[in-house]
Chain A
Amino acid sequence: NAGVTQTPKFRVLKTGQSMTLLCAQDMNHEYMYWYRQDPGMGLRLIHYSVGEGTTAKGEVPDGYNVSRLKKQNFLLGLESAAPSQTSVYFCASSSGTSGFIAKNIQYFGAGTRLSVL
């Protein structure tokens, strides 16, 4: 099993450009999450989804949009990139429906390192 796959792994954008980060999971998980990780700031939740066709805002949603048209995919979009969005982005998924222990485990992808110049 691949688990959670993120593409691309690296990307450099110019201010104002747009891009989409793709997250794919093959574990049939209901819940998916997008985080950003910045030095000294830990992991901060951007948006999340509790099922196909649903999305919700997290802690730092401004400047980002998401879509979950298929259960296995969760897309993160930057419409007009800003230098403040330079970060490492992580996608995660969890089952959401299994027993207490299993449903709470979030499985992370390897991350996308994004630089906005």
Chain B
Amino acid sequence: QQQVKQSPQSLIVQKGGISIINCAYENTAFDYFPWYQQFPGKGPALLIAIRPDVSEKKEGRFTISFNKSAKQFSLHIMDSQPGDSATYFCAASLQGGSEKLVFGKGMKLTVNP
């Protein structure tokens, strides 16, 4: 049972464009939603995260939009750069013990110069 569904699986955008990655979750008890960025040959690293009590969080060119009623959240990358080319994972977790993360399947982003 996949608890976090991520789409699309891959995306190609031009430099300066907007990249949008969508995720949907099933477990309404999830209360923490991070996005991780992974470059080839490296481990994932936290990019940005949101809690369900806010609808949007922005850090530089990266914005998370959260829709609690629809059980969906998305990552927007503004002014995409070739250096943003990586695999992006959304995740969700349930607080109160182990803070285990359930990851989406990932999306490979390619930003062409």
Enumerate chain A interface residues (CB-CB to B < 8 A): 4, 31, 33, 40-45, 48, 50, 56, 58-59, 90, 92, 94, 96, 100-101, 103-111
The answer, among A40, A41, A44, A50, for a CB contact under 8 Å with B98, is A50
- Name B's interface SS: loop
Assess whether B97 is in contact with A50, with CB atoms less than 8 Å apart: yes
How many residues belonging to B are interface residues under a CB distance threshold of 8 Å?
25
* Complex interface bits, B39-52 against A, C-beta within 8 A gives 1, otherwise 0: 00111111001010
Q: List 6 A-B contacts (CB under 8 A).
A: A40-B9, A41-B105, A42-B6, A42-B89, A103-B99, A106-B99
Chain B residues with CB under 8 Å of A107's CB are: 45
Q: How far is the CB of B15 from chain A (nearest CB, A)?
A: 27
Instruction: Determine the distance from Cα of A5 to Cα of B101 in the docked complex, in whole angstroms.
Output: 20
Please provide the chain B residues from 1 to 32 with a CB less than 8 Å away from any CB of chain A in the complex.
Answer: 6, 9, 32
A104 contacts B106, C-beta separation under 8 Å:
no
Asked if B43 and A111 sit within 8 Å, CB to CB, the answer is yes
- B residues sitting closer than 8 Å to A (CB atoms) are 6, 9, 32, 34, 41-46, 49, 51, 89, 93, 95, 97-106
A94 to B97 CA separation, bound complex (whole angstroms): 12
**Residue from B41, B99, B101 within 8 A of A110 (CB atoms):** B41
B102 to chain A minimum Cβ distance, whole angstroms, is: 8
B45: nearest residue on chain A (CB-CB)? A108
Residues of A within 8 A of B101 (CB): 33, 43, 45, 106
Could you tell me if B43 and A105 are in contact, using CB atoms closer than 8 angstroms?
no
Structural contact, B100 and A40, CB atoms closer than 8 A: no
Q: Are A58 and B103 in contact (CB under 8 A)?
A: no
Asked if A109 meets B43 with Cβ closer than 8 Å, knowing A42-B89, A42-B105, the reply is yes
| B104 contacts A33, C-beta separation under 8 Å | no
Residue of B nearest to A109 (CB): B43
Q: Which residues of B contact A59 (CB under 8 A)?
A: 102
How distant is the Cα of A44 from the Cα of B104 in the complex, in angstroms?
9
> In the bound complex, what is the Cα–Cα distance between A54 and B44 (angstroms)?
25
Q: Which of B34, B44, B93, B97 contacts A90, CB < 8 Å?
A: B44
The 7 closest A-B pairs by CB, nearest first: A108-B43, A42-B105, A43-B103, A42-B103, A42-B106, A108-B44, A105-B46
